[in-house]
A = this chain, B = another copy of it.
Amino acid sequence: MKTGKVVVVGATGMVGRILLGVMKKHRLKPMELVIVGSSTVGKRKQTPYGSLKVQKMEMSVFDGAELAFFAAGAKVSKEWIPQLRGRNCRIIDLSSAFRYEPNVPLVIPSINGEAIGDSDLIACPNCTTSIALMVLEPIHSYFGIRRVYLASYQAASGAGWQALQDLEMQNRRWVRQGKPPKQGRTSATPLPLAGNLIPRIDILDSAWNGFTKEEMKTDWEANKILFIPHGGKEIPIIATCVRVPVRRCHSEVLVIQTETKVTPEVLRQCLIFAFGVRVLDDPDNWVFPMPLNMEDREEVGVGRIRVIPDGEGREIVLWVCGDQLLRGAALTAVEIAEYILGKKF
């Protein structure tokens, strides 16, 4: 797919590197590719598009650009994106900076690509929400969703590169000392993650009744992307988000209450034919999605598919797992670019 000049902001970061890989794999062919970073400015860097010089962030890097990806976090997006708007460059923001602005489309192309319209700024959803939505969308379209309970098992990579490094360092201490460390800040928490679980991700606010921002995001974003456009009413997602000592795959237990009766056979068909979903469901033979088999894969894996026998066939329980950096972030951004360039989903 040919495109004009493309700028990738945050190209040397964890998501940025995956993003360049997905762009190449999906055969995006920019006439010119500019990579912008903060740490290794001026140095050349090996990328899937060959060796490229890391540029310093300044407005001139966007001159003549057709597409700009922002993968450097909300702070950078908030500072630079407003200056860049209205300049004929379509901006794809991977951060949370503009997700909840009413006039900024929040998009997963296979679900609500049409929301992109001619907006010059498109936001990508949070990773936990993206992974859930790949499975919630086909279920909503088949059976109508009434209510969702979500318990997450989120990887260290979601807290950034440093958190992943910290986990590995804590693991070394565990091996050396024979037990997990009692102390050890990660870049996201004052607590160690190795051998531990951290049932808080992101901040809390008194308006949220004890829920964290990460938990609220799943509700806000699923409603903006899926429930309100496809059905017109708000559907609650009641989430508990937990960090687990895993590298880069997020997993989730989803309990889904539906409007109409579900049979296990129809549910299975609905998931087998869903875009971007891979059914791995033979638990008797240890077949289900998990970090071990979902890392580096574009699909969201779904397994442990159950329909509650006493729920009048209106309650589903699932286990999903997806690569947080790939399906949860970079892939959505590339799909948005593909949609803009004319690909149909």
Residue numbers of A with Cβ under 8 A of B are 149, 151, 153, 168, 171-172, 174-175, 178-180, 182, 189-192, 195-200, 204, 209-212, 236, 238, 240, 242, 244-247, 251, 253, 255, 264, 283-284, 286, 288, 290-292, 303-310, 315, 317, 319, 321
- For A308, the closest partner residue in chain B by CB is B238
Contacts of A306 in B (CB 8 A): 209-211
CB distance from A316 to the nearest CB of B (A): 11
A149 to B255, CA, bound (A): 8
Contacts of A303 in B (CB 8 A): 199
Q: A171-B175, A283-B200, A319-B240 are in contact. Are A209 and B309 (CB under 8 A)?
A: yes
A149 to B238, CA, bound (A): 12
Besides the known contacts A175-B175, A238-B308, 7 further A-B residue pairs in the complex with CB atoms under 8 A apart: A151-B151, A191-B286, A191-B292, A195-B246, A200-B286, A210-B283, A238-B255
Contacts of A288 in B (CB 8 A): 199-200
CB distance from A176 to the nearest CB of B (A): 9
Do A238 and B317 touch (CB < 8 A)? yes
Do B204 and A284 touch (CB < 8 A)? yes
Contacts of A209 in B (CB 8 A): 264, 306-309
CB distance from A304 to the nearest CB of B (A): 5
Do A190 and B286 touch (CB < 8 A)? yes
- For A169, the closest partner residue in chain B by CB is B175
A190 to B238, CA, bound (A): 33
- For A315, the closest partner residue in chain B by CB is B238
A247 to B204, CA, bound (A): 29
CB distance from A177 to the nearest CB of B (A): 11
CB distance from A206 to the nearest CB of B (A): 9
- For A191, the closest partner residue in chain B by CB is B286
Do A319 and B153 touch (CB < 8 A)? no
Do B304 and A196 touch (CB < 8 A)? no
Do B204 and A283 touch (CB < 8 A)? yes
